[in-house]
């Protein structure tokens, strides 16, 4: 079926890679604003009331800030091109 809506999840992830190995450090589930605005949808999907809409860029920034606060200081950081188009 072309153009059919399929169930899926979109996440933002932080991975750490070094010469000693690699690991996923953090992840945040992206929820479209339509999911955070409709109470019935939130209830059915078990989305906590404290969860608010955030762009993928804002989620990525939150993950990066949390990592730095935890003492992880990467030499460099790479992100998908979509993050460079968001002023957040």
Written as tens digits, the pLDDT of the chain (88 aa) is 566 767 778 899 999 888 999 999 999 999 888 888 888 988 888 988 888 999 988 999 999 999 999 999 888 888 776 666 666 5
pTM reported for the whole predicted model: 0.76
Is residue 51 classed as helix, strand or coil in its secondary structure?
A: coil
66 φ, ψ to 5°?
-65, -40
Q: Which of 54, 77, 55 is nearest to 65 (CA)?
A: 77
């Amino acid at each position: 079926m072309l153009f059919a809506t399929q169930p899926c999840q979109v996440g933002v992830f932080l991975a750490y890679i070094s010469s000693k190995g690699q690991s996923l450090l953090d992840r945040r589930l992206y929820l479209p604003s339509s999911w955070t605005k409709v109470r019935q949808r939130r209830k059915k999907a078990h989305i906590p009331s404290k969860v608010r809409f955030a762009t993928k860029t804002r989620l990525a920034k939150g993950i990066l800030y949390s990592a730095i606060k935890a003492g992880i200081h990467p030499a460099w950081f790479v992100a998908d091109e979509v993050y460079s188009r968001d002023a957040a």
